[in-house]
């Protein structure tokens, strides 16, 4: 009997150790900050951690990507920048250019759909190598990533039911309106700045559904997306867009950029690639294919 008791105790101890190891994210965390002696400065700590592992692999992010042979592009389904064709493969202005960029690096491109709110974590955890998905260069993005030169212009527009469009013309304030916005998007900032009470939803498409279902008075989404998704011939034929919120706020248009990890030398590689692609006309050509040529920045 004693023997069995010992056997069970050992088995249990082993199981507990294993299960603790499996959920030991927090432990590893505290150990590490303990080592570096700066437990309070978590972001600092992380940076040194990255640099160390970067040096272990190779000297640069570019070498890291070329070493594993794939460029993992973090994106969401966002026509006309990234979306699936009828065969299920990724196309769109951003998707096509990302493939060309990967080719120029001599690696294969891999598209990974991500949850947009977690793009910085995805990048820092190296589960993706860049964020390339019609990303507005706002303060949050600039603080957390290194970005390539802006390549496209965009604005936030107010989407309303077509039959009520006249009520919204030349509005300079959204006070008293209930506006659906994508959580964490540039549209959310714009709507709040103009005094709307906002309902944050997970995706821009959800915001359109809110307006369509009448649960919100209006939605704020990207001009590029509004052009592709609403109006005649789409599934949101009853919606239209009116106010340009950037003009209403007296702001410049927004710019789209590609995000890389902080300190990554892929930024320089990207800028070089993009300048060459503008020069040989492939940017304009691809942009024309997807109807975004008006918004491109061709220096």
Interactions with other proteins, residue window 183-212 (CB under 8 A): 202-206, 208-209, 212
Nearer to other proteins, 137 or 208 (CB): 208
**Residue 236 binds to other proteins (criterion: CB under 8 A):** yes
Q: Residue 26: how many CA atoms within 13 Å on its side-chain side?
A: 2
Q: How many helices (H) and strands (E) does the chain have?
A: 14, 13
Give 223 or 277: the residue with its C-beta nearer to other proteins.
Answer: 223
In the shown chain, the binding pattern of residues 119 to 148 toward other proteins, with x for contact by CB under 8 A and - for none, equals --xx-xxxx---------------------
Helices (H), ranges, 58-125: 61-68, 93-105, 119-124
- Size, binding site for other proteins by CB under 8 A: 61
Nearest-angstrom CA–CA distance, 155 and 261:
26
Q: Which of 36, 66, 83, 271 binds other proteins (CB under 8 A)?
A: 83
Distance, in Å, from the CA atom of 101 to the CA atom of 289, rounded to the nearest integer, reads 18
Query: Least distance (Å) from other proteins to the CB of residue 226?
Result: 12
Compare residues 159 and 277 and give the one whose CB is closer to other proteins.
159
CB of 94 to other proteins, least distance (A): 14
Q: At what angle do helices 61-68 and 93-105 cross, to 10 degrees?
A: 90
Strand order in the sheet with 178-182: 197-201, 178-182, 218-222, 156-161, 239-244
Site for other proteins in 250-289 (CB under 8 A): none
77 binds other proteins (CB under 8 A): yes
**Residue 47 CA neighbour count, 13 Å, CB half:** 10
Reading the block at residue 235, the tokens are: 């599934």
Nearer of residues 76 and 156 to other proteins, judged by Cβ = 76
- Go through the chain and tell me how many residues it has: 299
Judged by the rule CB under 8 A, the positions of this chain that interact with other proteins are 1, 4-5, 8-9, 11-13, 15-16, 19-20, 22-23, 25-26, 28-29, 32, 46, 49-50, 52-53, 70, 72, 76-79, 83-86, 88, 110, 112-115, 118, 121-122, 124-127, 202-206, 208-209, 212, 228-230, 234-236
């Amino acid at each position: 009997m004693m023997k069995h008791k010992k056997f069970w105790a050992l088995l249990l101890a082993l199981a507990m150790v294993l299960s603790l190891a499996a959920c030991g994210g927090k432990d590893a965390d505290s150990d590490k900050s303990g080592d570096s002696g700066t437990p309070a400065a978590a972001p600092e700590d992380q940076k040194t951690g990255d640099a160390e592992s970067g040096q272990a692999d190779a000297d640069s992010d570019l070498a890291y990507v070329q070493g594993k042979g794939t460029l993992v592009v973090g994106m969401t389904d966002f026509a006309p920048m990234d979306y699936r064709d009828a065969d299920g493969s990724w196309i769109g202005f951003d998707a096509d250019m990302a493939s060309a960029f990967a080719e120029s690096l001599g690696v294969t491109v891999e598209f990974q759909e991500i949850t947009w709110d977690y793009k910085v974590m995805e990048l820092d955890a190296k589960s993706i190598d860049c964020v390339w998905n019609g990303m507005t260069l706002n303060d949050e993005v600039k603080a957390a990533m290194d970005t390539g030169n802006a390549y496209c212009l965009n604005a936030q527009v107010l989407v309303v039911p077509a039959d009520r469009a006249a009520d919204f013309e030349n509005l300079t304030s959204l006070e008293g309106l209930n506006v659906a916005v994508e959580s964490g998007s540039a549209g959310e900032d714009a709507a709040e700045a103009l005094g709307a009470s906002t309902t944050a939803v997970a995706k821009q498409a959800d915001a359109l559904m809110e307006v369509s279902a009448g649960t919100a008075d209006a939605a704020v989404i990207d001009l590029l997306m509004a052009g592709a998704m609403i109006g005649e011939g789409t599934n949101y034929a009853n919606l239209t867009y009116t106010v340009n919120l950037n003009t209403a706020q007296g702001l410049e248009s927004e710019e789209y950029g590609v995000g890389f990890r902080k300190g990554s030398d892929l930024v320089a590689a990207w800028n070089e690639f993009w300048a060459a692609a503008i020069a040989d006309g492939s940017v304009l050509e691809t942009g024309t294919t997807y109807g975004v040529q008006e918004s491109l920045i061709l220096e």
